[in-house]
Amino acid sequence: MVQTDNLNIEAIRPLSSPEGVKAELPLTTRAADTVVGARAQIENILMHRDPRQILVVGPCSVHDVESALVYAERLKALSDEVEERLLLVMRVYFEKPRTTLGWKGLIYDPDLDDSCDIDKGLRLARQVLLQVATLGMPAASEMLEPVIPQYITDLISWGAIGARTTESQTHRQLASGLSMPVGFKNATDGNLKVAVEAISTAVSAHTFIGITGDGKAAIFQTRGNAFGHLVLRGGTSGPNYGSEHVAYAQELMRKSGLIPNLLVDCSHANSGKRPEKQRVVVDDVMEQVRGGAECIVGMMLESNLKPGKQSMPDDPSQIVPGLSVTDACIGWDETEELVRYIYGKLGER
């Protein structure tokens, strides 16, 4: 018989089920308390019952587990210091969407050598999230591959739908069933309407195909996610954190019947991918917040133990720990100073 499918598939390997991975690395009471508590706090901020600001801060992507945990320990100590005015949530990103080619993240290639041991990557990701939550530090992560949430989202307090997928029906449906608040980034060209439409779509109930805990295909029916919000990250048209952009986004959300909640990404196109420019964005946003822009509920910073970035070497053993292999980040010293600066500015409101 003539073969008509899988013509470009070189190999198919079995994947551990979500239940199997969770059984190896079970959710602990301490970790669950961190997740549930942070989700409730984020929801209260989005409902404007809590006057604090959300600050999602951490590495562009996790590639070095030990460094990520050192970062989490430092961030937890800093979080305790500023919790009166700031809710710190650590960026713990394992999937990197690519416009062309490049390293796709710890889940897809945990050994950073194109071996693509996804089974190992899923376990590593879950292990990191468990340890971060056990420290009492809530985690944020982007939802890219629609199967992966079944393995890790019980450990995530804030989810993101990225600029490249915010227009995707699959991701809007996925977000409608996620158990945490979800931020939708504007499109890569800067289009806000696409993200606002995504938030409106995710509020509604949906039916879609997914996999169950034991790895079987199933039909999922969702209730809708009431805690979607907009993340301004700039675009090819330029930054979009200024007061005129915020006012436009606020009006766009109101016309769509949504609570106008905006979180400003100080990195990406808003900083021109220059980490030192994140401070400029912070200054502008803080002036808006101090001026009464209640629609701004928080910010996002890309930060790592060491400033800058490194190219991926041919030999993974040559990778410098704590230094980004994706987007350039500010270092820990600047992070600490900037978080305290934001804390101080919020005290001037």
Rounded-to-integer distance, Cα 57 and Cα 59, Å: 7
Using alpha carbons, list the distances in angstroms from residue 299 to 85, 103, 207. Answer: 13, 26, 32
DSSP E strands: which ranges in the chain? 53-58, 86-91, 139-142, 158-161, 182-185, 207-211, 217-221, 228-232, 262-265, 296-302
Q: SS3 of 333, please?
A: helix
The full set of domain ranges for the chain reads 18-346
Task: Specify the CATH number of the domain 18-346.
Answer: 3.20.20.70
> pLDDT tens digits for 50-72?
999 999 999 999 999 999 999 99
Measured in whole angstroms, the distance separating CA 81 from the mean position of its chain's CA atoms is 23
Amino acid identity at 121: G
pLDDT tens, the chain, 349 aa long: 899 999 999 999 999 999 999 999 999 999 999 999 999 999 999 999 999 999 999 999 999 999 999 999 999 999 999 999 999 999 999 987 766 667 889 999 999 999 999 999 999 999 999 999 999 999 999 999 999 999 999 999 999 999 999 999 999 999 999 999 999 999 999 999 999 999 999 999 999 999 999 999 999 999 999 999 999 999 999 999 999 999 999 999 999 999 999 999 999 999 999 999 999 999 999 999 999 999 999 999 999 999 999 998 888 889 999 999 999 999 999 999 999 999 999 998 7
Whole-number pLDDT of residue 278: 97
User: What's the pTM value of the predicted model, to 2 decimals?
Assistant: 0.96
